[in-house]
Structure 1
Amino acid sequence: MATLKVGLVSPERELWSGEAKMVVAQTIEGSLGILPGHAPVLGVLLDGSVVKIEPANGDAMVTAMVGSGFFSVANDQVSILAEQAEVSDEIDVPAARAALEDALAAGDEGATLERRARARLRAAGIEA
């Protein structure tokens, strides 16, 4: 079975790497599903979106919130380079809810913070 070699990194650390069956990322142009054999592409991640990775070994889906960044696909290798990223099992849900409330109170000036707080909650499995 063909697989993808995937790396999800932020400036702080590598959040996940390994073999995957599929990656789904949201770009500024729409959602993109990546399977083995995908044509080369370079994309801009939608700030405050969720990336999903289906590991090839059958482990649970890896879900992560990403801030702005880029991803590239070439030769069955996917690199996801996010300015800010957090995997679902590391998200502090009460802190994410508080961040969302603060962002909503800030009005238009909190739009980016609101998108990121909502993405953190979606990555944790909570619709916000």
Structure 2
Amino acid sequence: MAALRCVVVTPEKTELDREADYISLPMDDGELGVLKGRAPMIGRLGFGTLRLQTAAGPERYYVDGGFAQVEDNVVNVLTGRLIPVDLIDSDKARDELNDARALPSSKQEEMAAKLVAIRKARGKLRASS
């Protein structure tokens, strides 16, 4: 039996429930590696790649922000979206980044939305490569 359990929940459903030996989370301020016995924590996720090392091999998913909780060798991820990286079209992700860069930013609210759109698109593009 693997050392960790990773559960990913989106607003629609539980997207993933896997056992893993190692989990790497794309946190808002950098990457966080989780092994068995990790101290409990809660943190904000960034837009990037969730990596799992399972008995069947590595798995990678794009995570669309959210929160992560680690407790008792269970990693709970709450996110808006989870996409297997194999399903991300890097050309489309590049187009999304260009579209995000072209968004208006004359008002404070527009600038905030533009920055989030750019971060999401960059995360998808990184995950696809």
TM-score by length of 1: 0.82
Question: Residues 14 and 87 from structure 1, CA distance in 2 versus in 1: closer, same or farther, beyond 3 angstroms?
Answer: farther
In structure 1, give the amino acid aligned to 2:66: G
What is aligned with 1:122? 126
What is aligned with 2:16? 16
Contact 2:2 2:20 in 1 (8 A): no
Structure number with bigger Rg: 2
1:87 to 84, 88, 92: 84
What is aligned with 1:50? 49
In structure 1, give the amino acid aligned to 2:44: V
What is aligned with 2:64? 67
Question: Residues 114 and 4 from structure 1, CA distance in 2 versus in 1: closer, same or farther, beyond 3 angstroms?
Answer: same
When the two chains are superposed, the root-mean-square deviation of aligned CA atoms in Å is 1.9
What is aligned with 1:38? 38
Q: Distance in 1 between matches of 2:18 and 2:62?
A: 18
In structure 1, give the amino acid aligned to 2:52: I
Give the length in aligned residue pairs.
Answer: 122
Q: Distance in 2 between matches of 1:15 and 1:89?
A: 16
In structure 2, give the amino acid aligned to 1:34: V
Question: Which runs of no fewer than 5 residues in structure 2 stay unpaired?
Answer: 106-110
By how many angstroms is 1:34 displaced? 0.4
Question: Which runs of no fewer than 5 residues in structure 1 stay unpaired?
Answer: none
Percent identity, aligned pairs only, is 31
SS in 1 for 2:91: helix
SS in 1 for 2:11: coil
Superposed structure 1 runs of 4+ greater than 4 Å apart: none
By how many angstroms is 1:66 displaced? 1.8
